[in-house]
Amino acid sequence: MHRVGVEIGGTFTDLVAFGPDGVSIRKVPSVPARPDEGAFAALAALGMPIAGIGEFIHGSTVATNAVLERKGGRLAFLVTKGFRDILLLQRHDRTRIFDLFYKKPEPLAARADTFEVPERIAGDGSVLEPLDLAAVGPILRARLAGRYDAVAICLINGFLNPAHEEALAAWIAAELPELRVTCSHRVTGEFREYERATATTMSAFVQPVVDGYLGRIEDGLARGGFNGHCTMMQSNGGRVPFRAIRDNPITALLSGPAAGVTGAVRQAGLSGFRDIITLDIGGTSADVALVRDGKPDWARETKIDGLPIRMPMVDIVTIGAGGGSIVWSDDGGMLRVGPESAGALPGPACYGKGGTRPTLTDAHVLCGRLPRDARLAGSMALDGDAAAAAFGPVADAFGRPPVALAEDAARLADGNIVAAIRLVSTERGRDPREFALVPYGGAGPLHAARVADALGIQTVVVPPDPGVVSAYGLLVADQMLDETRTRRTPLDEKAPDTVREIAGQLTAGLKARAAALGLEGTPEFEMSLDMRYVGQAYEIDVPVDLAALDGLDAATLAAGFAVAHKRIYEHGAVKGKAVEIVSFRARLRLPQGEVPALRLGSRTAARPAQPIRIFEGEAWVDAVEVGRGAVATGSSIAGPAIVTDTTATTYVPTGWTAEADAHDNLILRRSA
């Protein structure tokens, strides 16, 4: 039986399959309006009966798109009496302090759809005011019946004592069974009411969309005779069954980018690179992440459409610098790239699908870094004349030849990517020069070497078939569950006992969840603490060695906090300053085990080197073009050159060399 991973991007849908015949890949255009059709188009291109698939693993931006486009379900929001405006008040920070017309992000549940419930849980979890369902039930029935698709419940301090949330959910399930119900304590076990409320409403808002989408995939697979398992990638870099995603769909908001990081870590690790910075450039965006010793950095919070989401996830920074990013001039006459994208339809002008605005892909075609005779996704021919025509009006406005402006646009995108990488490296206390850069996605290898130059990075590792690394990551990802609990605990002699107590509770809860989902295998557990000085507003992550939990003492916890604090803030222990633990985090991991690596196959052209001309800097220069299959292990190519692959093209600038290694990774290094 085959294992198949399908990742749906903004421009292309990628498929990687593991089977008795090895690794197979396919790449087809996405269908933005109906993304599940793109998934089945990729399966059709594979040419294998669906009945021969034992496991279908998926990554998609359907949840993210539902939020960005505000196309979720009709949502009602239940809150504790007195907290009706929590989504409107938000926080007092401003992301654009000089914008006179600044507005706070629009919440997903309107005030008119927010209903107060008389009840109150205290800060220690005790009940201050009981929930009287006999009194509130008829009122809720009148307000909710026939008007909504989903209900989000977020009661004050519900994460400490979920009894009232559970009672409300049970009442709705019995009285209004047509409504989907989401409770805050099931979404996140953390404090901060606004962030918890936002996460709960977002999960409820996208649940009808995600449920319908996954249902269509399951139905389509069933019609083809599929009788295997369906799992989906989460933002934390692990996968879970579809059922778990239906229960809490916001865990899959960044499933595609997280899958790419997982695939890059596995493939680069074969060549001994465990400290890496990943660079995923697809059709609509560029995603960067930092990996230390084979483990990605984690983030507690991200923002989608300006709304904060506190969930465990891979620390990924995303900017609008994909191959389809529009090149334009702003009101001040400055050249800009993105964030608007041409997407899959109409796509870049060179795709010949009706696009007329210049994009980054058109820029690379004009500069010769994408050969005009190349065929993207194996069949899509490039139209160089259309790319030149698209750049004409913008170039005229700047008084520059189209090819020169195209080079300017590519350089500007490089600068934007450099800034994004600094967010996950230098601003997190990491020196990017100590890492290798691993680019993938259709456009990642085109920008990687110049981005590395700007950051002082000496080595670039380009995986084979870089355009499908995210789909590959779906197949190599472990199954993973996370659990978080907020419990403010002073760092004193009693703290280690509390850590051991909560560690036992969290791991037991994770085992129960895994059993309920039918997950099999020997679990591995990880744990970390959110810690801070008393009075600080934000916490930092401090790992805990579960193997040494019995001997854990307060001094060990304090030392770990001081090291983590110094890495970020350049100072560690503050004499006499009290420290506290705020939240406890545990993770269950079911390791994937040995899986095939991406390797160059017969599909990769062994095209011999031939002379070409590319535009570099301010002039046309002589270069070579070679098929990646012709680059023998140990042989070296000096830039300027382009190396063409089935799914992407790698640009080797002047001053760099490229060499294939025994794992079919292409290693770029500075030659001077």
Predicted confidence at residue 377, as pLDDT, reads: 59
Determine the Cα–Cα distance for residues 454 and 165; give it in Å rounded to an integer: 52
The domain total for the chain is: 4
Determine the Cα–Cα distance for residues 162 and 153; give it in Å rounded to an integer: 10
Tell me the sheet residues that pair with 59: 7
Tokens of 467: 């355009």
102/218 same-domain check: no
488/586 same-domain check: yes
Predicted confidence at residue 496, as pLDDT, reads: 95
Determine the Cα–Cα distance for residues 193 and 418; give it in Å rounded to an integer: 35
570/615 same-domain check: no
570/640 same-domain check: no
Asked if residues 297 and 432 have their Cβ atoms less than 8 Å apart, the reply is no
Q: Where in the sequence is the domain holding 107, given as residue range(s)?
A: 68-209
62/72 same-domain check: no
Domain ends where: 182, 209, 236? 209
82/199 same-domain check: yes
Residue 434 falls inside a structural domain: no
Predicted confidence at residue 574, as pLDDT, reads: 80
Residue 350 falls inside a structural domain: no
Determine the Cα–Cα distance for residues 135 and 151; give it in Å rounded to an integer: 19
Residue 373 falls inside a structural domain: no
CB pairs under 8 A, 24+ apart, for 136-143? 137/171, 137/175, 140/78, 140/115, 140/171, 140/172, 141/175, 141/176, 143/76, 143/115
Q: What is the pTM of this model?
A: 0.89
pLDDT mean values, one per 10 residues, the chain (672 residues): 88 89 86 86 90 92 83 93 93 83 90 95 93 92 92 95 95 94 92 93 92 93 93 94 92 89 95 96 89 89 84 87 90 89 84 90 94 69 90 93 95 95 90 96 94 96 94 94 93 95 95 93 94 90 92 93 85 82 95 86 71 92 91 84 91 94 93 72
Strand segments (E) across 359-399: 375-376, 380-381
Asked if residues 11 and 283 have their Cβ atoms less than 8 Å apart, the reply is yes
Predicted confidence at residue 566, as pLDDT, reads: 86
Domain ends where: 590, 621, 642? 590
625/569 same-domain check: no
78/193 same-domain check: yes
Residue 400 falls inside a structural domain: no
Q: How many CB atoms lie within 10 A of CB 274?
A: 15
83/197 same-domain check: yes
Asked if residues 184 and 196 have their Cβ atoms less than 8 Å apart, the reply is yes
16/50 same-domain check: yes
50/9 same-domain check: yes
Domain ends where: 209, 233, 268? 209
The one-letter amino acid at 469: V
Residue 583 falls inside a structural domain: yes
541/499 same-domain check: yes
Predicted confidence at residue 524, as pLDDT, reads: 94
CATH number of the domain that 44 lies in? 3.30.420.40
Tokens of 657: 């060399």
Residue 340 falls inside a structural domain: no
Residues with Cβ within 8 Å of residue 424, at least 6 apart in sequence: 277, 288, 289, 290, 297, 315, 316, 317, 430
Residue 265 falls inside a structural domain: no
Residue 368 falls inside a structural domain: no
CATH number of the domain that 527 lies in? 3.30.1490
In tens, the pLDDT along 441-471 reads 989 999 999 999 999 999 999 999 999 999 9
